[in-house]
Amino acid sequence: MTNLLPDVEAVLFDAVGTLIYPDPPAIEVYRQAGARFGVDLPRDEIALRFRSAFTEVFADAQTAATSHAAEYAKWRQVVSAVFHDTPAPLDAIFEELWTHFAQSQHWSLFAEAPDSWRELEQRGYLLGIASNYDDRLPAVLAGLPPLSECRRVFWSSRVGYAKPHPRFFRDSPLILRGEIPRSCAKGLPFPLFPAPLAGLTAIGGARTLY
């Protein structure tokens, strides 16, 4: 088959919002979790609090190093901001939500993702997943074929930096081992980040999840 981009050897997809999405939606999961702890927050209020907290908590993603502990703490801050003035016990509701989003049955593939993935495989591209999701990502992907077959998967807390920090790509063990050439495209055909990074070609596009 003819390559869509002749000079490209590999394609790195983002995960959440590009290939997969929380199902049911994250805001509804938060609402249901709150209800189990006696919280009656309207869905729109949860969405407003979540978006505000997420934007603030992850504002340093482009500049700061990260780790499992850092990502865990950030998500705890998000949950705390959503439920801060409610009777919900923070430790319990956070652990419930953290565990929920670690399970593949609570995620779905976007409709075009499987066919796009297979098409690119058949055209001879090396495929990988480069995500800002955390250490929960492998367990999520494990239940979502064809992504479960991907062996070129790396994520921010594994690498130590989040996208779009250039070191996310420069320090990726997959690139360092040569499994993903430096002349590769990130995110074809529906990626998130438009700026060229660390010698890679990026193609832009976005979805709204929250």
Tell me which residue range forms the domain holding 123: 1-210
Q: Are 194 and 204 in contact (CB under 8 A)?
A: yes
The CA distance from 193 to 82, in Å, is 27
**Number of domain units in the chain:** 1
Confidence (pLDDT) at 205: 53
* 187/26 Cα distance (integer angstroms): 23
Q: How far apart are CA 108 and CA 26, in angstroms?
A: 12
pLDDT-based confidence at 204, cuts 50/70/90? low
Count other Cβ atoms within 10 Å, centred on residue 95: 13
**Prior bond to 164 cis, omega within 30?**
yes
At residue 70, the 3 state secondary structure works out as: helix
Q: Which CATH number does the domain housing residue 25 bear?
A: 3.40.50
Count CA atoms within 13 Å of residue 7 on its CB side. Answer: 4
- The DSSP symbol for 99 reads H
Residue 89 is predicted with a pLDDT of 95
- Would you say how long the chain is, in residues? 210
Mean pLDDT of 12-37: 96
Residue with tokens 């869509």: 4
Minimum mean pLDDT range among 66-75, 135-144, 188-197: 188-197
User: Is the model's pLDDT at 192 over the cut of 50?
Assistant: no
Sign of CA dihedral 53, 160, 110, 189: positive
Strands 126-131, 153-155: pairing is parallel
SS3 content of the chain, % helix, strand, coil (to 5): 40, 15, 45
Confidence of residue 181 (pLDDT cuts 50, 70, 90): low
Residue 54 has pLDDT above 70, yes or no: yes
Task: Write the pLDDT tens digit of every residue in 124-137.
Answer: 888 999 999 999 99
State the pTM of this model.
Answer: 0.84
33 or 205: which leads in pLDDT: 33
Residue with tokens 């790396």: 154
pLDDT tens-digit map of 98-119? 999 999 999 999 999 999 999 9
In the DSSP assignment, the letter for residue 137 is: H
Identify the pLDDT of residue 109.
97
